[in-house]
Amino acid sequence: MTEDNELVYGGDYNPDQWPRETWDEDIRLMRQAHVNRVTLGVFSWSSLEPREGEYEVEWLDTIMDKLADAGIGVVLATPTASPPPWFSLAHPEALPVRPDGVRLVHGSRDTYNPAAPAYREAAVRITRMLAERYGQHPALRMWHLHNEYGTVSHGPVSDEAFRVWLRARYGTLEALNAAWWTAFWSQGYGAWEEILTPRATQYLPNPAHVLDFKRFSADLLRDCLRDQVEVVRAVTPDVPVTTNFMLPSWHHYDEWDLAAEIDTVSIDHYPAARDVEGEVHAAFGADLARSFNGGRPWTLMEQATSTVYDYAAGRIFAKEPGRLERNTMQYLARGATGSLFFQWRNGRGGAEMFHSPMVPHTGPDSRVFREICDLGATLGRLGELAAPPADGGPVNRNRVAFVWDSTAWWSSETRAMPTDDLSFLDAVRAAHRALWWEGIGCDAVRLGDDLSAYDVVLVPSKLAVSDDEAQALHRFVEQGGTAVVWYFAGSTDELLRVRQGSFSGAFADLLGIRVEELHPLAPGETVTLDDGTTGDCWSQLVQLRGAEALAHVTGGVLDGVPAITRHDVGAGAAYHVGTRLEPGALRRLLADVVARAGVTRDHPAAGDGLEVVRRHAGPGTYLLAVNHDEVPRALTVDGHDLLADRPVAGEVVLAPGAHLVLRETARTPLPARPVDPVQPTP
Ligand code: GAL
């Protein structure tokens, strides 16, 4: 996707929505904005195949040629996220069905059932047509397969496919009945045909049934991706392949599994908040993307230039001036190959007509387009960041990891939990947020991965844990690692069967505790610990079995019960956190844990809103610093300021909102030589 000395810059381009007069203006403006990449055809199925089997490709031929002539590379998409209306009328059985039996039809997007042969065949056909027609085109740089896989469907076609999947997983009905504990509420299955996907039912559904359906649906989406990967790899073995993940709220597939199918990971990422929490969000998405991509540079396939829909609030909100560039620096620091946007020019109509593009409705004479041109010029000065690290290592070298696990996410959604307040995503976000404020970088991992690169592994709220996963964490600690395990983690096996003898039973030996009773807290209820901090959501009756208590509950029925524990195991240590600590307390605990484990920041000044991240690229290292604080912040550096193109050694003061990209010449600070404060982008 990237040349080694060029960051990518551009966005989703939809020329089929515009008259041809606009195309030449588009290309002129793209050159003005330093665009070198566009993503073509993401939702263009009805433009490319207006009637089944009849292709209209002249428009795509023409624009591909024009882009090639302008030196702009193309990320060519398969349009399979949005089958055209003819498809639903010709193949009603291939439409998605909701749990309540309602069959959805075209009129929006993503109306297909990933299990339906007619959909799969149609998707493969149009993929093959694109691969064969454009595989050798000089503009082609990468395949963008589908858009944000995520459709889940019930109904007869899904039932059939679910049964096939279950047979492969369990072999016999006896094994399935045991795994799902179906004797409870008379759910024992006597024939495979009796099994349906978990539809709307009278009362609580069987949680293991629901979890397996989520796993099945995720595998189906992976299979849809595989269908397309197979086609494009056969025709263009040298063109890299991606599919864009929607992070972090869209979780209908397993990112690790999908990442294993493609050459490089890409993500779509939109701010979740107007305040600095939006910056924490940018860092989180970037850390996930890099981790899913094995620590290698990854593609930011979509971000917004300004206005983003906030559907919960019922309005759009605009990014303030300068925020776009700051966020982009955060993504770059954490391994992005550049920045692409949804989208180049926004449509005059359609459901997202007020979502911000690179060229807004108001035209190029606009603050947004000027920022886009400036950002394009800025990225042009940072091309050397694009080189993969010469030593073959990851772009960021973090010593702390947190577990990201789909089963954990899906199990907390099964409605059989002791409290509805158990959210895997929230627990992970809280841990990541605490580290962000502390200035400590981190990666996502699975417990089954090689953990030897890490000093500290965090396990927030991973309910279902297999014996193998538990042993992997045990080995990690024995060999000198530090683990932090949150309440309720490891309370079931991977089939969602409760472990006997102790809650968090998968880790009971490692943690040196026994959790005998669960006392979830009502909304607004808190527990106070004897170190003066508080927690909410959760409390529990814990007995020490070798661990020491670092803090206890005070007051109430759990008065004096350990709330935070530490257990030395082999050469390492395992901590347990028995309540949802308030943010400040969690930050202090994690700061203490990582400090004891010998983990340091990428730069000593990092933290409290000054983000400083070291990116490895080519033979060198680069410090990217962004001041999200409201006051100027200083840091001592030694290197070459790539944006100002001058050497800098000594203390640099970053004004609020300012950033710095530095090619480091040495890691040890030289004698201080004050330089002018760097000002934020206006
Ligand atoms: C993304 C999606 C785009 C567009 C964008 C803005 O998730 O891939 O097609 O919808 O969101 O809402």
Residue that has been written with the tokens 């959760």 in this structure: 538
* 150 Cα to the center of ligand 1, angstroms: 12
Averaged pLDDT, 272-293: 94
| 680 pLDDT more than 60 | no
Best residue among 147, 268, 307, 341 to mutate for probing ligand 1's pocket (most ligand atoms within 8 Å of CB) is 268
Residue whose CA is at the smallest distance from ligand 1 atom 10: 352
| 412 pLDDT more than 70 | yes
Residue 562 sits at φ, ψ, to 5 deg, of: -60, 135
pLDDT at res. 679:
57
pLDDT at res. 669:
38
Structure tokens at 372: 């886009």
* 541 Cα to the center of ligand 1, angstroms: 45
CB 14 within 8 A of CB 44: yes
* 315 Cα to the center of ligand 1, angstroms: 16
Q: Tell me the pLDDT tens digit for each residue of 575-610.
A: 999 999 999 999 999 999 999 999 999 999 999 999
Residue 302 annotated among the catalytic residues of the structure: yes
Q: How confident is the model at residue 151 (pLDDT cuts 50, 70, 90)?
A: very high
| 671 pLDDT more than 60 | no
Residue 578: strand, helix, or coil:
coil
pLDDT at res. 666:
62
| Ligand 1 atom at minimal distance to the Cα of residue 352 | 12
pLDDT at res. 247:
83
Torsion of CA 512, 516, 522, 525, to 10 degrees: -50
∠ Cα 407 405 330 (to 5°): 145
pLDDT at res. 3:
63
| Ligand 1 atom at minimal distance to the Cα of residue 244 | 8
Best residue among 244, 302, 308 to mutate for probing ligand 1's pocket (most ligand atoms within 8 Å of CB) is 302
Averaged pLDDT, 345-371: 96
| 681 pLDDT more than 50 | no
* 342 Cα to the center of ligand 1, angstroms: 7
Q: How confident is the model at residue 674 (pLDDT cuts 50, 70, 90)?
A: very low
**Burial degree of 362 (CB within 10 A; 0-12, 13-18, 19+):** exposed
Task: Give me the catalytic one of 148, 325, 438, 611.
Answer: 148
CA distances from 523 to 277, 535, 536, 556 (A): 23, 12, 8, 17
Q: How confident is the model at residue 274 (pLDDT cuts 50, 70, 90)?
A: confident
* 269 Cα to the center of ligand 1, angstroms: 9
pLDDT at res. 44:
98
Q: Tell me the pLDDT tens digit for each residue of 623-662.
A: 999 999 999 999 999 999 999 999 999 999 999 999 999 9
* 81 Cα to the center of ligand 1, angstroms: 11
What 3 state SS string does 315-346 have?
EEECCCCCHHHHHHHHHHHCCECEEEECCCEC
| Ligand 1 atom at minimal distance to the Cα of residue 250 | 7
Give residues (CB < 6 A) around ligand 1: 147-148, 246, 268, 302, 342, 352, 355
Tell me how far apart the alpha carbons of residues 574 and 481 are, in angstroms, rounded to a whole number.
Answer: 8
Structure tokens at 621: 């290292």
pLDDT at res. 646:
97
| 344 pLDDT more than 50 | yes
| 86 pLDDT more than 60 | yes
Helix ranges (H only) for 239-393 are 255-259, 277-292, 323-333, 367-380
* 355 Cα to the center of ligand 1, angstroms: 9
What does the buried/exposed string (b/e) look like for 168-181 if buried means 16 or more CB atoms within 10 Å of the residue's CB?
eebeebeebbebbb
Q: What is the mean pLDDT of the chain?
A: 95
**Burial degree of 129 (CB within 10 A; 0-12, 13-18, 19+):** middle
Residue whose CA is at the smallest distance from ligand 1 atom 9: 342
Residue whose CA is at the smallest distance from ligand 1 atom 5: 342
| Ligand 1 atom at minimal distance to the Cα of residue 147 | 8
Tell me how far apart the alpha carbons of residues 578 and 551 are, in angstroms, rounded to a whole number.
Answer: 10
| 682 pLDDT more than 80 | no
Question: What is the rounded end-to-end Cα distance, in angstroms, of the chain?
Answer: 31
Task: Give me the catalytic one of 279, 302, 413, 438.
Answer: 302
Structure tokens at 134: 């454009």
| 28 pLDDT more than 80 | yes
Give Cα 142 distance to the centre of its chain: 20
Q: How confident is the model at residue 340 (pLDDT cuts 50, 70, 90)?
A: very high
Best residue among 147, 269, 310, 342 to mutate for probing ligand 1's pocket (most ligand atoms within 8 Å of CB) is 342
Structure tokens at 619: 């033979």
| 1 pLDDT more than 70 | no
Nearest by Cα to 471 from 495, 487, 497, 493: 493
Residue 148 annotated among the catalytic residues of the structure: yes
* 270 Cα to the center of ligand 1, angstroms: 9
Q: How confident is the model at residue 678 (pLDDT cuts 50, 70, 90)?
A: low
| Ligand 1 atom at minimal distance to the Cα of residue 148 | 8
Q: How confident is the model at residue 248 (pLDDT cuts 50, 70, 90)?
A: confident
- Does this model's pTM top 0.85? My answer is yes
| Ligand 1 atom at minimal distance to the Cα of residue 43 | 9
